[in-house]
Amino acid sequence: MLNTVMVIGSGHPYFDKRVFSKSVQPLSKLFAKVLYVTAAERGKVQGLVPGNIEDISVGNMPIKTINRTLQWDRIHRSAIYNYDKPIDLIVLHDIPIGYVFPGAFLRRIKGKFHCKIVIDLHEYLPECLFPSIPTSDFLTLIDDKMIVGPYLKEADGYFAVCDFVQEYILRKGISKRKIFVLPNYAHSIPTNYVEKTDSVGFVGRLNRFNGPERIAKIAKTVIEEYGYEFRFIGTSKEGAIGLFGDDWLFSHDKVTFLGMLPYNEMLYEISKLKFAISHFEVTAKNTIHSLPNKFFDCIVSKTPIIIPSQLKEQRKILEEYDIGYSVDLDNNQWIQELRGVFTNQKEYDRKSHNIEKHYREFLWDSHEREYLNFIERIMKTE
């Protein structure tokens, strides 16, 4: 067993599936000690955190870019610099250490600890680096050239969430051998599967960037034309205020806002849906090439998901396994395409059968050993 790994998740929630479930927990099986640098307290939990995980808390990260960079960044880096015992590997999630010369930061910690560095890219980072600043092609270019590019060149290994992010890393002159494509697979299945209800659900936290007006249009169609219920799983009623053109969704008896749920409870609610939807806004490259947890959560809950055909990475999986649907948002008749989805029972039965056959391939447990094998290979390279 290897000695010590530091996982820098920082700005993410303590039990974030992309950090804790996909990195911290698996590495606790490979290393004697896992140092978890986090902005969030673990809270009062029993049995969820392996005994060889030690927290290094750096306080909550501000969302505003200037506060994050000038205040929190300094505190965050100091907590890492001040650790005074040997470290074999540091795993960083996205760029959780601020934006002031992150490449120089990596050089400094490599010089201090003489350790390997692995970066896990959850997203196409140059496009979503500054959440409080409107995106633009010019800003993405600046982020790429001045922040993300120099930062990536300091690492020894990389996890890319999808093929598009892998291609981005390759364009930096980095060897493909150092990159492992690892989508955000689901981490569990429902405790039990129940009979499907006449319902469609939006899965995830609704915001202005994932198409609330289109989602409201879908809700109106399924309620008025088919008598289905529409459920928001992961969005509270309060969290959706101001996102729709009118307020009919908030008072309709066939619309339910379930808010954030414990993971297993969320999977159970998804499993009751006849159809699931998520992102219906497709202007950003980061969205077009995304492979988020909620996509796989729907599949392992055995619920066919409907996506815009513009979501290239997700569409590729749905088509390969024939387990979901896509509609073309560039077509003004996309809502008519949806009507075809809702009325074709034969196609629905075929896709449901295929999900039953393949859903376990989209569980993290089916890929954890590949993740650990890659880490072991990076640790052995000169």
8 A C-beta contact, residue 290 and residue 164: no
Residue percentage of the chain with pLDDT more than 90: 77
Give the closest residue to 206 by CA, choosing from 224, 231, 232, 228. Answer: 232
pLDDT given for residue 98 in this prediction: 64
Tell me which amino acid residue 325 is. Y
Query: What is the Cα–Cα distance from 88 to 165, expressed in whole angstroms?
Result: 26
Mean pLDDT, range 297-307, rounded to an integer: 98
Query: What is the Cα–Cα distance from 188 to 366, expressed in whole angstroms?
Result: 11
- Chain centroid to Cα 113, Å, comes to 30
SS3 90: strand
pLDDT given for residue 381 in this prediction: 84
Rg (CA), the chain: 21
pLDDT given for residue 99 in this prediction: 65
Global pTM value: 0.92
pLDDT given for residue 11 in this prediction: 75
pLDDT band at 246 (very low <50, low <70, confident <90, very high): confident
**Angle between helices 263-272 and 293-300 in degrees, nearest 10:** 60
Residue-wise pLDDT for 251-270, tens only, equals 999 999 999 999 999 999 99
Residue-wise pLDDT for 321-379, tens only, equals 999 999 999 999 999 999 999 999 999 999 999 999 999 999 999 999 999 999 999 99
CA distances from 24 to 7, 48, 117 (A): 7, 12, 15
Give the H/E segment covering residue 29: none
Token representation of residue 163 = 């093929």
pLDDT given for residue 66 in this prediction: 64
Instruction: Please state, rounded to an integer, the average pLDDT across all residues of the chain.
Output: 92
* Choices 3.30.70.380, 3.40.190.10, 3.40.50.2000, 3.40.50.300: CATH for 199-362: 3.40.50.2000
Residue-wise pLDDT for 1-32, tens only, equals 789 999 998 778 889 999 999 999 999 999 99
SS3 179: strand
Query: What is the Cα–Cα distance from 45 to 51, expressed in whole angstroms?
Result: 12
Residue-wise pLDDT for 190-222, tens only, equals 999 999 999 999 999 999 889 999 999 999 999
126-129's contacts with Cβ under 8 Å and 24+ in sequence apart are 127/284, 127/285, 127/286, 128/284, 128/286, 129/95, 129/99
Within 8 A by CB and 6+ apart from 64, the residues are 132
pLDDT band at 74 (very low <50, low <70, confident <90, very high): confident
CA angle centred on 250, ends 342 and 292, rounded to 5°: 55
Query: What is the Cα–Cα distance from 22 to 205, expressed in whole angstroms?
Result: 20
What is the sign of the dihedral through the CA atoms of 88, 94, 100 and 104? positive
Residues in the chain: 382
- In the chain, which residues fall in CATH 3.40.50.2000? 2-182+367-380, 199-362
Within 8 A by CB and 6+ apart from 98, the residues are 68, 69, 72, 73, 76, 77, 105
- Chain centroid to Cα 134, Å, comes to 21
pLDDT given for residue 128 in this prediction: 84
pLDDT given for residue 95 in this prediction: 84
Kindly indicate whether the domain formed by 2-182+367-380 is annotated with CATH number 3.30.70.1350: no
